[in-house]
Structure 1
Amino acid sequence: MSDHRPTAVVLGGSLAGLLAARALSADGARVTVVERDALPDGPAPRKGLPQARHVHQLWSGGARALEELLPGAIGRLRAAGAGRLPMTTDMVALSPYGWYRRWAESAFMLSASRDLLDSVVRRLVLADGRIELVQRAEAAGLTGTGGAVTGVRLRAHDDTERTLTADLVVDATGRGSRATRWLAALGLPGVERREVDSGLVYASRLYRAPEAAREGFPIVSIVPDPRGTGTGRGGVLMPIEDGRWIVTLFGGRGDEPPVTAAGFERYAREELRHPVIGELLGGGAQPLGEVTGTRTTANRRHFFERMPVWPENFVVLGDAVCALNPVYGHGMAVAARSALALREVVRRHGVGAPGVSRRAQKAVGRTVQAAWDLAIGSDVFYPGATGSGPTLRDRLTAAYVGRLLYTATGNGRIARRVTDVTALERGAEVLLAPSVLVAALAGPLKPPLGGPPLTSAERAAAGVL
């Protein structure tokens, strides 16, 4: 009997890459994770992840996948300070169709800084002795042929190069992935690609929450309306660890939030469809640091699963497959669910087995579909988002989803069903059940709310009367 253990190389040491490494090591592979940056020891910023300065949440569909890959991870995150917010019980949100009520929990989200989330996951994954981390190095290209990848050429920070051979190479290098170029260099055809760019610009700042509001405060969200006035203007206030709030404001082309301290809070008070976030910031929250901005928010998908041919021993996942507008908060959940899908395929067939990479790539494609549909179903209506504008299918889907969101403002059953789909707990097909269609036709069962459903105790804790 052979004592050969399969080997894998994972490119990218962020959340998607680390979870992919865990998925492969769980099946017995020896895994090398290659990361361009020097990773911090704890919850600290890193150069290659500028989007970490903005709001991040892990929807429960992703949190459950994370727990399957790393048993005890949710408990470790909670112990480190991450919040658990029941949805929609602890959510105060203004949709394009009115304020949502705070219904009984169906799904949940974990709220924390991206630095904390990454550090906890990194610590748990790298505790696995089958996983090795190579830092300050990046992939220069794949080795092998269009029929089978045999490894990867690495370039270190000092420009020295070496080749790592592997039974499987996984690209989890994010939006900057060069997978399409690498495949072309192996003689493979071009990859089908679609981009929907809302043009949203983000600005974020950390605050010390008022002392009485540091525990149990809800997330507050003003959801943008791509077809309304003030295109794309919206914002999120999310409680995170250490008694802080992270606030992210966003706006579309011509409505960009400012990155100055005074302009940031003015935008929150005066430019959003409701001033509640600005009021909360003015009630005793103390700024921590400067405002940071980003323009990298386009939805971009590569349909690798549709390739007529696919090389053995190569898989792409995470943002390298499907990069999503951060406003929907699905990136980390999709990464976790994709890593879980990879694990299930490898567990059934084995690392390096004939056809396993093709099966894994198709599984990843299925995993990202729901989040992709949710994102482009809204973003395609922003001016200039695509060259041709919304398709007829886009318009019909958006009309039905809009009716569901309107119904959800006054129907708890529909609100919970929509929330479950948004949280990636259930597939979008549940929204086509006959009972849901009838409820959407009937509309809300309760009258619209006249303002944000903050309790008097929450207002007092935040210093807002």
Structure 2
Amino acid sequence: MNSLTHGLVLGGGHAGMLTATALARHLDTVTVVERDHYPQGPSHRKGVPQAHHGHLFVAGGVQAVESLLPGTIDRLLAEGAHRMGLPEDSITLNAYGWQHRFPATHFMITCGRELLDWVIREQALRNDKITVVEGGDAGALLGDAGRVTGAVVTDGDGRDRHVDADIVVDARGRGSRLKQWFAGQGREVEEEVLDLRLRYVTRVFAPPPRTMKEFHAVFNLFSDPTVPGPVSNAVMLPIEGDRWMLTASGVRGGEPPTDDEGFLTHLRRLAHPLLADLIGLTEPLTSAQVTRTTSNRRTYYERLDPWPEGLIVVGDALAAFNPIYGHGLSAAALGVVAMDQALEEHGTGDDAARHAMHAVGAVADEPWQWATAQDIQYMDLEEDEVNNLRDQMGDFVKMMMDAGPVQPVVSAALLNVHTLSASQSTLQAPHVIAAVRRGVRRPVLTGPPLTDAERAFLASHAKDAAAPEPDRGT
């Protein structure tokens, strides 16, 4: 009679819960070790400090989660999350101009990170194969350089126990200590880091009644990275509870301040005052939350040869991204799906972990290339370096980025890549190339592409704000 098979997941956040769900398809039982104690509902927890900031959950990742946990998106929407069509529900200004709001070809889900994590956790833990050790800490891995057989787990009472497992998955995010484990064996893991040292400041606001219905949009205002001087960006998302979450970011002297007046002044210094005008109508609900944990970090575990049997790495422990591009959650979900597919194809025996690592690493490559290609433009470069960067982009890429805001076929192709729904190679499709070169284009916009209703709403509130107090007599 065969013995039961067991999986051990180190880390019980977004990637960890999805990983446990995937492992439960292939193993008899799965244990998740999580340092935090989970809140009862959608609340912040210590182990996810970035949860205070805006998160985009793009279509590719949404579809990956649905494949693992069907019904998750319906549950999120029922709890107040928003489904935003792209580019129709996006008011975006970047270095290439204002984006026309073409009919939606893609989408994203917007909500607070605490709601997203809670819903995914609730969905995952319906599986009775999965158990969680809360308040636990995973210490040393068991086994050796050739095979990992489990981990030493310290429970909430401070007691150590050896937990054996057929497959161990590191989903501990940026705080993973796996590199040090390999270093103890005399093995160096190749790693690449690109850190702009961006400062992020996030606040949540309550808009006036009906504002979110009038402005059902995601707002993106980005600096032109090739223009010398401070870089200041902002992204505002509708989230559950009829609230707006606004994350401002900056570098090179464009860092947003945290006080009320300074924060609003920062918004007025953006490339357009639209967000400052809207925030001027709102009531702040939270104080400023600050982070500088925004580096891109790619750890190439899959390049280690030989790779220890029984060990897999997913999520931010393998590839962490500047959150401004909204790829972290989705890339993690797609990586777990790749792991699941590799285990389905190769089983859970010898060599399974190596196949899974190569699959997860391959999925991480494209969002890594996208994020770093964007971020390197914001580095504090000399003029000759900026010109060299433009040369490296190539004429076709520059033509495509220029066409995106005004040409619907090109816009859809870029969104296909940006939402992690398709490979970057699809940008070379014949119909896309034809649209770049000869496609019918809309006029270049000189201001935000507001609807008539949005303009009327802004004009009405501007009039109300300017109206003097009525004379009530004495």
2:201 to 195, 200, 203: 203
Specify the alignment match of 1:71 in structure 2. Answer: 70
After TM superposition, the structure 1 = structure 2 runs for residues 64-463 of structure 1, keeping only pairs within 5 Å, are 64-187=63-186, 189-215=187-213, 217-269=216-268, 271-282=269-280, 284-351=281-348, 353-383=349-379, 396-397=392-393, 400-442=396-438, 445-461=441-457, 463=461
Structure 1's 267 and 21: CA in aligned 2 closer, same or farther, altered over 3 A? same
Contact 1:297 1:324 in 2 (8 A): yes
Contact 2:226 2:386 in 1 (8 A): no
Contact 1:197 1:380 in 2 (8 A): no
The amino acid that maps onto 1:354 is: D
| CA distance in structure 2 between the partners assigned to 1:419 and 1:243 by the alignment | 27
Deviation at 1:262, TM superposition (A): 1.5
Give the total of aligned pairs: 458
Sequence identity (%): 38
Deviation at 1:322, TM superposition (A): 0.4
Contact 2:231 2:253 in 1 (8 A): no
User: What TM-score results when the alignment is normalised by the length of structure 1?
Assistant: 0.94
Specify the alignment match of 2:36 in structure 1. Answer: 37
| CA distance in structure 1 between the partners assigned to 2:16 and 2:396 by the alignment | 36
Structure 1's 72 and 398: CA in aligned 2 closer, same or farther, altered over 3 A? farther
Contact 2:377 2:389 in 1 (8 A): no
The 10-residue stretch of structure 1 (225-234 or 7-16) with the greater mean CA deviation from structure 2: 225-234
Structure 1's 134 and 81: CA in aligned 2 closer, same or farther, altered over 3 A? same
1:380-438 deviation digits (Å, cap 9, x = unpaired): 233359xxx89978952376444322101110110011011100111100112233334
Deviation at 1:181, TM superposition (A): 1.0
1:40-94 deviation digits (Å, cap 9, x = unpaired): 1111011111111111111010000000000111111111111000100100000
Contact 1:197 1:384 in 2 (8 A): no
Structure 1's 65 and 26: CA in aligned 2 closer, same or farther, altered over 3 A? same
Task: Say what the alpha-carbon RMSD is for the aligned residues.
Answer: 2.1
Contact 2:267 2:276 in 1 (8 A): yes
| CA distance in structure 1 between the partners assigned to 2:429 and 2:273 by the alignment | 37
Residue ranges of structure 2 left out of the alignment (5+ in a row): 464-474
The amino acid that maps onto 1:263 is: G
Deviation at 1:157, TM superposition (A): 4.5
Residue ranges of structure 1 left out of the alignment (5+ in a row): none
Contact 2:133 2:155 in 1 (8 A): no
| CA distance in structure 2 between the partners assigned to 1:263 and 1:399 by the alignment | 40
1:258-288 deviation digits (Å, cap 9, x = unpaired): 011211111111x211111111111x21110
Deviation at 1:205, TM superposition (A): 0.3
Structure 1's 390 and 348: CA in aligned 2 closer, same or farther, altered over 3 A? farther
| CA distance in structure 1 between the partners assigned to 2:380 and 2:305 by the alignment | 31
1:2-44 deviation digits (Å, cap 9, x = unpaired): 2x33101101111001100001112243111111111111110
Structure 1's 263 and 443: CA in aligned 2 closer, same or farther, altered over 3 A? farther
Structure 1's 29 and 400: CA in aligned 2 closer, same or farther, altered over 3 A? farther
User: What TM-score results when the alignment is normalised by the length of structure 2?
Assistant: 0.92
